[in-house]
Chain A
Amino acid sequence: MKKKFDFRRFIADNVVVVIFLILTAIATPISGLSANYILQDIITRIGRNSFLVFSLLLPIMAGMGLNFGMVLGAMAGEIGLIFAVDWNISGVWGLGFSVLVGLPIAIILGWAAGAVLNRAKGREMATGYILGFFMDGVYQFVVLYLMGSLIPMRSLAITLSRGYGIRNTLNLDSVRQSLDNMMMVKLFGLNFPVGTFIIVGLLCVFIVWFRKTKLGQDMRAIGQDQLVSNASGIPVETTRIIAIVMSTVLAMIGQVIFLQNMGNMATYNAHRQTGFFAVAAILVGGASVTKATIPNVFVGVVLLHLMYIVMPRAGAELFGSAQIGEYFRDAFSYGAIALALVLHAWRKRRGVEIDRAGLRMNTVDPAAKGGAV
């Protein structure tokens, strides 16, 4: 039987996307920015951010919610970049070296995070968020005190004048946009960083393939129901740890790609907002805490960053101050996360209530649950 398209249901399911579409549709003409400028900026930002956002897919698949602990991976990538700059390893080689140095760190941190999250089942997002803060302290200790004192550093240009610790801002000139410029293609007056897009494309292919593997199926089963998965012989805890390790490693690579595009690194702050922006992007793209797809990533990155591009200018045009536009975009980004979380909680409760009512009446209409899990 063919299902009838329900407009209200569609809006309710995609309310975050719809809100962002309306906002950007209003703000774009007000900003007065040219289509060429906006498109170029969007293309750059897709290459810069999408890898980071992809790192959230696997934990969602494994039912662990939004992995705010991805900042651990970002820190690992930053440590790799510090060593690449210190040893003067330039270009794509420098990026490769950063990834290779960051890899074991990301695996260890991911494993530790996964083990902690296994002890906090049902509270993974809050635990991951706080874990990020905790590891930020450890990162600061390592980078601010151990590097240059216990960990030998060669370059005087990156160490603080006192002789140990890394400077607040690191110049990534040696690796700046090396991946983007590797295969830059100019088309219709726009620059396309094809090298970065190929890497993002390969990741998409990997994710599609991974979902079909035994491990991918296990993750999906665990995401559906942990008790049933456990009863059917799936090693739930190990699989959850693997999901977090993979997410952390992907976040590490994503942060290296992100920073090579930026060209400099705020040593002590660059990773702090990484999780927040990635989570905001995937939620704006229509994902939920329990379900996320590859299109959600791209839609989210485009919509969120379109807002980031046009809002400050729209604020400047409307109120005479770009700062007001900045406030708007911050408020809406946090608002998107809050709205998505509230909607998830509401749908979940509604689903449970409908299930209960159905048990009493002996009928359950799945459509009435509003996509609840």
Chain B
Amino acid sequence: MSGADNSEADRNAADRNAARSAVRTRRRFVKAGLLVLYVGLTLFVFINGRSHTFLLDNKSLNDGAIPALRRVKVFIDNQKPIELYARDRELLMVRGQGHRIRIETQDPANRLEAKFTVPFGNDMILISIPKMASGADDFWEQFIIHYERPTNNDAPPPTLEEPVPIEPTL
């Protein structure tokens, strides 16, 4: 084999290596792109698909400063309107973080609209309609249910009639 043939073979091998390396790099980019797409899509679905419970409250405030509205129609996002009378509380499920709320009263005739964003971790939101009608910005707040798990101490004391518990066997 001559020297020219050798150099030709070396050049071909180098070309092949370069091509393989380019393919490997491209594959890595594609994989990284897919991973980024997957994470992005999961986050997008996670944030936009989260549901919250809205408690629409039409009660006078505790100090009596703002009285309940006699009759009010509440529109949230594109859902069907909800009609509330004084001392009513309604439950509504909504999806997503940002929401638009509109209230309409007839006596006196009034229409008010507000937009707000629910913090991500909040599951339940209490919306005070009278507070919103009065023009307050803090018309909604997080509603937390305090749940206490039953402990062994909560169980009633065993009676004499109760059979002695036996460990189950196979």
Contacts from A to B (Cβ < 8 Å): 84, 87-91, 93-94, 96-97, 100-101, 103, 154, 156, 161-163, 174
Task: Give the total of B residues in contact with A, Cβ under 8 Å.
Answer: 16
Known: A93-B48, A97-B49, A163-B149. A88 touches B123 (CB 8 A): yes
Contact assessment for A93 and B49 in the assembled complex, using a CB-CB cutoff below 8 Å: yes
Binary A-proximity of B30-58 (CB < 8 A = 1, otherwise 0)? 00000000100110011011111000000
Q: Which A residues lie within 8 Å of B52 (CB)?
A: 88
Offer 5 A-B interface pairs, CB within 8 angstroms, sorted by A.
A88-B123, A91-B49, A96-B45, A97-B45, A97-B46
Known: A97-B45, A100-B38, A100-B41. A156 touches B50 (CB 8 A): no
Contact assessment for B48 and A103 in the assembled complex, using a CB-CB cutoff below 8 Å: no
Main secondary structure, interface of B, reads mixed
**Taking the complex as formed, is B150 at the interface, i.e. its CB lies under 8 A from any CB of chain A?**
yes
Closest to A156 in B: B147
The contact of A103 among B38, B123, B150, by CB within 8 Å, is B38
Complex CA gap A90/B48 in Å reads 10
Q: Which B residues lie within 8 Å of A91 (CB)?
A: 49, 95
Contact assessment for B38 and A96 in the assembled complex, using a CB-CB cutoff below 8 Å: no
The contact of B149 among A90, A100, A161, by CB within 8 Å, is A161
Q: Which A residues lie within 8 Å of B149 (CB)?
A: 156, 161-163
Complex CA gap A93/B48 in Å reads 8
Binary A-proximity of B90-101 (CB < 8 A = 1, otherwise 0)? 000101000000
Known: A93-B45, A97-B46, A100-B38. A88 touches B51 (CB 8 A): yes
Complex CA gap A95/B10 in Å reads 55
Binary A-proximity of B117-159 (CB < 8 A = 1, otherwise 0)? 0000001000000000000000000000001011000000000
Complex CA gap A154/B147 in Å reads 12
> Could you tell me the distance in whole angstroms from the C-beta of B13 to the nearest C-beta in chain A?
21
> Could you tell me the distance in whole angstroms from the C-beta of A61 to the nearest C-beta in chain B?
25
> Could you tell me the distance in whole angstroms from the C-beta of A80 to the nearest C-beta in chain B?
11
> Could you tell me the distance in whole angstroms from the C-beta of A249 to the nearest C-beta in chain B?
13
Contact assessment for B50 and A89 in the assembled complex, using a CB-CB cutoff below 8 Å: yes
Known: A100-B38, A100-B41, A103-B38. A89 touches B147 (CB 8 A): no
Known: A100-B41, A161-B149, A163-B149. A89 touches B123 (CB 8 A): no
Contact assessment for A89 and B45 in the assembled complex, using a CB-CB cutoff below 8 Å: yes
Contact assessment for A94 and B49 in the assembled complex, using a CB-CB cutoff below 8 Å: yes
Closest to A103 in B: B38
Contact assessment for B51 and A101 in the assembled complex, using a CB-CB cutoff below 8 Å: no
Contact assessment for B150 and A90 in the assembled complex, using a CB-CB cutoff below 8 Å: no
New A-B pairs, 4, CB < 8 Å, besides A90-B49, A100-B42: A89-B49, A91-B49, A97-B49, A163-B149
